[in-house]
Structure 1
Amino acid sequence: MLILSIDTSTRVCSVALHQQGELLGCYELLTEKTHSSLLTTLIENVVTQAGFSLAQLDAVAVAKGPGSYTGLRIGVSTAKGLCYALDKPLIAIHTLEAMAAQLQPFYPATHVLCPMIDARRMEVYCAEYEGSTRQVLRTTEARIIDEHSFAELLQERPVVFFGDGAAKCQPLLASYPQAIFPSVSIHPSATTVGYLAKEAFSKQAFEDLITFEPYYLKEFMGTLPKAKL
């Protein structure tokens, strides 16, 4: 079971290669450059430097979102293109679930894991997961954060807020004793996508290459140029 994994949900461009669930290699770049100029090079490097060819892959996994519209389009289109060309199955992993799996080993089972991806202004894409099982406690949503957000939950249990959306929320929520913010930056990673992809592969949980689209969560809202008078 040789799986190539891709995560371009945020500014981090990340690729990883797993064999039987064991990590063979990973590249991660935090850059303002568009992922399209980097992704194919990283894919080629991680596969060939691990001693394999693309033809030897058994599947390609991709973080499906939510996240950056442009990043998700690039990651999903690249993954689908590889699957078409190589005749391999596509596995889609929820970005926030992969982030929860990343932190799960580091906190007690009693904690709630709340990954956050930055959206516009005080809005974040977030979900809540049981620390012990990653069971969904609150489904994915685009949520505007204020000082009253999560108040009821924080009175009951410790909650770990993390991801690039958590930093702007910390000043509003830090007054709650049970609000926890890791001291290091946590971002989506293809390494965890590949970890979850092993289970999906075992269940033959593959996507339809024709109909599959990224999980944008919200429709894209562009800025129209001002009309000339």
Structure 2
Amino acid sequence: MLLLALDTATPAVTAALHDGTSVVAAHSQVDARRHGELLLPAVDRVLTEAGLRLDAVTGVVVGVGPGPYTGLRVGLMTADTFGLALGVPVYGLCTLDGLAYAAGGEAGIEGPFVVATDARRKEVYWARYADSRTRLTEPAVDRPGELDIGGLPAVGAGALLYPDTFPDAREPEHVSAASLASLAAERLAAGEELEAPRPLYLRRPDAQVPKNYKVVTPK
């Protein structure tokens, strides 16, 4: 097994390789405006670091969000393209689940907690977790002031942005493809079925088609 994992649902552009036992290479760069520019170089970097070619990949894992429309589609379309070109399966994973998985290691959280990422517009994408592998609620998008998390620990950029709602906010701030790859490898080894690689937007894109077009007639 050699999984290539990607995620562009947060400001982190992140890629990793997992051989079924451990992460063999990983790279992340935080830049919310350059997902399309940075993702392929990140993939090339992890392949070079691992001393492998792209055709060695046996499966692709991609974060499905929730996340902003434009950034999220970069990772999903790239994953789909790799899957078609290589003839390998493409697996989707909730980006919040990847952060939750990392929370069990980096943040050392064992009990219930919350994951919250920045949804912009003074909102957060969030979900509750029983532990680093078990999500209790469906991902949602809400204003922080409308949430009552009961003082639970929280990870993610959304939690760090709103300390009044998330008083026990911790790292990691953004998801890493290494965590997504590790979680996917664990679930696949257990015979679990992963999600389809389809975007989890939770709200309409910012860009809208104008409702009234100006009529232009030839002179």
TM-score range for the pair, normalised by the shorter chain length: 0.7 to 0.9
1:35 and 1:126 map into 2 onto residues whose CA distance is: 22
Aligned counterpart, 1:217:
202
2:108 and 2:17 map into 1 onto residues whose CA distance is: 26
Q: Say if 2:116 is the partner of 1:140.
A: no
Distance 1:5 1:145, change over 3 A: same
Q: What one-letter code is carried by the residue in structure 2 that aligns with 1:180?
A: D
Structure 1 residue matching 2:162: 3-state secondary structure: helix
Unaligned runs of 5+ in 2: 215-219
Q: Deviations over 1:60-84 (max 9, x none)?
A: 1000110121111000000000000
Structure 2 residue matching 1:217: 3-state secondary structure: coil
Aligned counterpart, 1:30:
30
Q: What one-letter code is carried by the residue in structure 2 that aligns with 1:85?
A: A
2:83 and 2:213 map into 1 onto residues whose CA distance is: 43
Unaligned runs of 5+ in 1: none
Alignment of 1:67-216 (within 5 A): 67-105=67-105, 106-109=107-110, 111-131=111-131, 134-146=133-145, 149-150=147-148, 153-154=149-150, 158-170=151-163, 172-173=164-165, 179-182=167-170, 184=171, 186-202=173-189, 203=191, 205=193, 212-216=197-201
Distance 1:38 1:120, change over 3 A: closer
Structure 2 residue matching 1:118: 3-state secondary structure: strand
Identity %: 29
In 1, are the aligned partners of 2:103 and 2:109 still within 8 Å (CA)?
A: no
In 2, are the aligned partners of 1:7 and 1:75 still within 8 Å (CA)?
A: yes
TM-score (norm. length: structure 1): 0.82
TM-score (norm. length: structure 2): 0.86
Aligned counterpart, 1:8:
8
Structure 2 residue matching 1:38: 3-state secondary structure: helix
2:59 and 2:209 map into 1 onto residues whose CA distance is: 40
Query: How far off is 1:112 after superposition?
Result: 2.0
Q: CA RMSD in A?
A: 2.3
Query: How far off is 1:41 after superposition?
Result: 1.5
Q: Deviations over 1:114-137 (max 9, x none)?
A: 111111333111000012x63222
Query: How far off is 1:140 after superposition?
Result: 1.1
Aligned residues: 211
Q: Deviations over 1:184-217 (max 9, x none)?
A: 4521110101011113433373666xxx521112
Structure 1 residue matching 2:50: 3-state secondary structure: coil
In 1, are the aligned partners of 2:103 and 2:172 still within 8 Å (CA)?
A: no
Query: How far off is 1:98 after superposition?
Result: 0.9
